[in-house]
Each structure stands twice: as C-alpha cells, then as structure tokens.
Structure 1
C-alpha cells in the first residue's frame, strides 16, 4: 500500500487569499518546495484535502475548482513533484446555495475526504500524514488514522482543544514538517 501526505491547500500549501479561485493568483508557499521534494524522495504521494465553502456561500461556482487543481498540479510539477489527488468539500451548513447547505461527511474536521482518497489510491493511513494550518485539519487527519502536523502560521484563531485536535508535531512550514516526519528519532 502507498503512503501519502494529505495537504490542506489555503494557508498550508499556498498563501491564503480568501476564496481565491483565480489560477493567476495561486503560488506555492516558498517554504514548502524543499520539504515536498524530500517527502517525494521518500515515496509519499501528495493529495490535497480542502474545504471550499465559497461554493456553498455562492462566492464562486464548483466549476472553478478544476482550474485551481490544474494550476496546483503545474506548480508542483515544475519542481518535480506530482499531485496525485485533489479532494474538496463544497458544503457549508450556513451557506446560501441550497444544493450545498448540508451537514456532510467530507467537510473537515470530519475525515471523509481523506478516507475516500485512501480508498481510491490504496493508501495506508497509519503510514500517512495530514498537514494543515488549523486544528480542523489536524482533527480530520487524526480521525482518519493519520499522524498530523499543524503549521502554526497564525491562521488558527479558535484554538478549541479536544482529544482529536492534538497534532503529532507543530512547526512553522512544510519544509520543517518534512524534517520532523523524516527524522527517525522523532517517529
């Protein structure tokens, strides 16, 4: 079975520009590329796991997301890194677009997107990691059976503690996360 790095998108892999679906404004975090390359060299797949409440809120259409996935794939490919999957949740219970205003199993902190990706890509979750910038990312990864990394970059504002909301590691970037993940003494 494969092992994967599940990546939150906004604020983790790319700078957080709220509700951005303009591919021209999407760039990789500068402190992510070296870490992603190191993780790739160790055989990890890369799969994006992203809440996209902008669809349910009527800010952008779900049709805009394939261009986002394409741009991310291009940016990663330019550094020799393959994006293996792009999973998103368009739902938000308090949204304004009726078709998307539901309580689902995919919206983080629920693990639905990770579990679906693991099944579709034959991933061993116990050998995989979820990296995100808020505790909902951590909780989703923990619920799915992954180890987790919180990128503490100031995006977590709630700090609501709970038994599933403690990360395996906390660090400042994907580059540092890769060092922690690949350090056998830390495992």
Structure 2
C-alpha cells in the first residue's frame, strides 16, 4: 500500500553530526588538569580557547599542508602566557574543507601537529568538519565546539574565554555562555569589529585582557 508515511513509520530524526576532538593522551597530560582556579585565582578563566586560522596562524583557505603553517605575531607569547598560569589552552576551529572534499582528517591532524610543534601542546582541539548545510550544532557561531572542549576538560563554559578574528567566533562564545574577545585582522569585516563587545589589537593583548585580575570572576 502506498501513501504518506506516518510518524511511526518515519522514525526518529537523525542526530546532528558531532565535532571532532583531536587531542591525544600526550596533549592531555601536558596541557590539561591544572586549570580549575580556586582561592586567590578564582578570577582567572578555567580555560582559554583560540580560533585557529586568522587567530593563531595565518589564514590559508582550506589548508591541509603543514608546511604552510605560519604563527601570527605574538601567538607564541600569548599561548605561553596562559600556560604559565596552569590554565588549559584549546583550539576550536571550523574546517568545512572536509565537508567540501578538499581535506581529510589526516590533513587536519597534520596541521594540528605542526601548530603544536611551533606553539606547544594544546589540551584539546575541537574541530567542526561539517558544511553550512549539514545541520550540525558545532559549526561556529553555534556553541557545540565550545561545549565539546569544555566537556573534555571538565570546565564550565561560563568560566572560559574564546579568542577569535571574526563574528562567528564571538557568536559561538556568546551562545555557549563564554566570554569572547575579537582580534581583528585585515580580513575582519568593519561591522564585525564595530559590533564586538570586546576586542584587542593583537593576540597577546587579548590574552592579557582575558587574564586581567578580577574581570572574569567578577562578571560571572
């Protein structure tokens, strides 16, 4: 018999696809576990997350070549300043080149490895490999990458900071309940800079703002 399927026949809707968590045991041992501030450190964030392309490293569209990885100015100093306080650092990155057939997980992992060679280990990498129409909850400005990274580290989103270079990064932070700081680049649209609740001229300054005594704890 033909006809329209009933709700019972249709079955449940498929679950949205999940993000990739690329961190390995070595990265977790070296980067995580110290970032739950208490006492006099209660004002510090529990974790600091960075966008990858255009924030930590030069934005090469759909890059899967580790030889093209180039840290942006002050990136090394910025990440080191967070680690020096025992706060976990992580990366949250949209990589739609996977969905577009331009990248594989192997490419993304190779770039991750090169970034860590240059900038040191990160406690977690949360990557969205989906396209804009895939129906995921992790592609920034959705909050899924922040939630996934926080879940891996065992921290509350509202105790974290996300630093990025476009409005989607700030949107993901806002949707997750995290604090967002914009570091504009020449590719950042003027309206994105104008609309940012908080911004900094470079990554090291953004980290200093994120770590400023009393700011994070007083507002949460």
Give the TM-score normalised by structure 2.
Answer: 0.72
CA–CA separation in structure 1 for the residues paired with 2:75 and 2:105: 27
How far apart in 2 are the matches of 1:184 and 1:151?
20
Residues 26 and 125 (structure 1), Cα distance of their counterparts in 2 relative to 1, 3 Å cut? same
The Cα of 1:42 is off from its aligned counterpart by 2.1
The answer as to whether partners of 1:139 and 1:166 remain within 8 angstroms in 2 is no
Q: Deviation at 1:25?
A: 1.1
CA RMSD between the two structures? 2.0
1:127–1:146 CA contact under 8 A, matched in 2? yes
Contact 1:7–1:48 at 8 Å: present in 2 too?
yes
**Paired residue secondary structure (2:98):** helix
Q: Does 1:60 align with 2:99?
A: no
Distance 1:172 1:160, change over 3 A: closer
Following superposition of structure 1 onto structure 2, how do residues 123-142 of structure 1 map, counting pairs within 5 Å?
A: 123-142=155-174
Paired with 1:31 and 1:129, the residues of 2 have a C-alpha distance of: 18
- Partners of 1:180 and 1:86 in 2: how far apart? 23
Quick one: structure 1 residues 38 and 160, their matched pair in 2 at CA, closer, same or farther if it must change by over 3 Å?
closer
Query: Deviation digits for residues 142-167 of structure 1, max 9, x if unmatched?
Result: 11111110011132237369xxx743
Partner of 2:205: 176
Counterpart in the other structure of 2:124: 85
SS of the aligned residue for 1:171 comes to coil
The SS at the match of 1:114 is helix
Are 2:166 and 2:192, in contact at CA under 8 Å, matched by a contact in 1? no
| Distance in 2 between residues matched to 1:44 and 1:28, nearest whole Å | 21
Q: Show structure 2 runs of 5+ residues with no match.
A: 1-34, 37-45
Aligned mates of 2:115, 2:109 — CA distance in 1: 10
State the secondary structure of the residue aligned to 1:48. strand
Larger strand percent: 1
Partner residue of 1:121?
153
* 1:74 to 2:117 alignment: yes
